[in-house]
Chain A
């Protein structure tokens, strides 16, 4: 087994979009729960190969935005174009089929399963052998299992979690759980990876590790990333472009430096005297 993940093994996701072109286009999205307006007239885009950050104060609608993108919520208005195809209503497993993977703010792992099984579960959709082959196990089902195991082991090497391969994830510390969750999302070989606060509750060292993984995923595998994060240092260093939400509206969109000095953003974070 190779100890160093081979960059050539990570083929760039083939989604028919050239690097730098628009991968995800969000147009005039509005989402309301009864009378509560979560998102109002949101438009922005994510270009292929970039790291796009979504920031904003608590309750600004960042997570709702991700939930719309991967099909958990259906917006009342607006459209989403992903990989050149427009859609309005969809289910999460359709989003998976199109190549969108995500991690959660509160770790959403399968607690009773081992690290290996959790990451293997990320490849469920790609495994095709039916229940009869599974029952016999030896032969095609085992062959398929091993083929996918090899890919999963690449990811395990990449994230440096070899030592917890067979540990039930419920027993792992929080930082490692976050890493396993990233591994499960990577196993789906997404063309767009949504990360909801990948560094929440981590110490400095863990944050540095996670930042390195995010950059490596972006550069080595060519995966486009949209992330929500509260640590401004991380956001400004990692991302290519930042969109800022407040009360469900976009208040700024642009390069990190430009956003950092925007008066509206400063007001939203620090508050303004009334």
Chain B
């Protein structure tokens, strides 16, 4: 009933190509954006910002980047953590070399460093596929983290080997560093994430998105319709790594405040990959659902027993969290390989017909 599409006719192809051809979807998005931009900032506590809202957005962005490469273009990557690191270190170097640089611009530029690195490590994809490519990206993962540790210039030769985010102002408001307020950082991340998501949706629904999906589904046939495989794969690596790099810069500048090399190790790569798989490969929405699940889970597991007055140690929370995530991944791979996004699509299909079964 709520989702009835009857009576919504399209009289031009432009209408059919709209982002939300179904009116209810647009309204739903409106409600979500209202929550994100108005209601949550008014009500959320500092803990909610730090433990839930900001990380959900940043992880979702990282997963979106990975999803473009793995879900759309079908190239498996295990180097996401390291590419996030490239974005973070690039942003750090940019603001130390050019202190006057607008932080928004610095983050946007740092994505290009990550994109370049991604293309470089994506070159093997022209020759190898599937698991073998994953091994090649794994090499990137270990090499880059090693580089973050050994190349002192990257962290300005600080004795701790870590990068510290300074206080940076944008238009008179402190947006990064210890003095920045959660609210400002949240809005900053939200705006960047919304913008990048919109651009990513546009790319994936047009010619380039079709090109990527064609390469994913059957590369021989893709070549046959005149798609240049090399260009398709390398643009996927470029766009994907750019987004991942931006998310890495946000990760350090807007959330962690400081970082050392092993923050970007393989476990971060897996975390982002899990988000993409649980959310749904080949979907944009899924990244948000997956990120919400993975980030919210430990918070919920920690909070629920406490709410019932059951004492629970933080290490037990951690164990429970790891076990639940592991179980979820196995369950999703078996029951719904297309993830939460597909679950939502099925629910939506049922809602359109409800209350009739067919």
Contact = CB atoms under 8 A, between A and B. Distances in A.
Nearest to A102: B224
A112 interface: yes
B13 A141 contact: no
Contacts of A117: 210, 213
A149 B226 contact: no
B20 to A, nearest CB: 14
Given A96-B225, A112-B216, A131-B235, A146 B207 contact: no
Interface stretch (A11-19, A132-140, A215-223, A256-264): A132-140
Contact of B227 (A93, A135, A137): A93
Contacts of B213: 110, 112-113, 117
B282 A112 contact: yes
Interface size class of chain A, counting residues whose CB lies under 8 Å from the partner chain:
35 or more
Interface string A143-184: 011100110010000000000000000000000000000001
A112 to B, nearest CB: 5
Interface string A111-123: 1110001001110
Given A134-B203, A136-B202, A142-B14, A110 B214 contact: yes
A117 B17 CA distance: 12
Which applies to chain B's interface (DSSP): helix, strand, loop or mixed?
A: helix
Given A93-B228, A96-B225, A146-B13, A112 B217 contact: yes
B6 interface: no
A146 B18 CA distance: 11
Nearest to A141: B206
A106 to B, nearest CB: 10
A93 B223 contact: yes
B207 A122 contact: no
B217 A137 contact: no
Nearest to A136: B202
A188 interface: yes
Interface in B314-336: none
B94 interface: no
Residue among B210, B217, B225, B235 with most chain A CB within 10 A: B225
Contacts of A184: 225
B130 to A, nearest CB: 16
Nearest to A129: B207
B218 A134 contact: no
B1 interface: no
A113 B202 CA distance: 17
A104 interface: yes
A254 interface: no
Contact of B211 (A93, A97, A124, A135): A124
A108 interface: yes
B171 to A, nearest CB: 25
B330 to A, nearest CB: 23
Interface in B188-224: 199, 202-203, 205-208, 210-211, 213-214, 216-218, 220-224
A65 interface: no
Residue among B216, B221, B227, B228 with most chain A CB within 10 A: B221
A142 B17 contact: yes
Given A113-B214, A121-B222, A145-B207, 15 more contacts: A104-B221, A108-B221, A112-B213, A117-B213, A121-B227, A125-B225, A127-B207, A134-B202, A134-B207, A135-B202, A136-B202, A141-B206, A145-B17, A146-B13, A184-B225
10 tightest Cβ-Cβ pairs between the two chains A and B: A96-B226, A110-B217, A137-B202, A125-B226, A108-B221, A127-B207, A135-B199, A134-B206, A146-B13, A92-B223
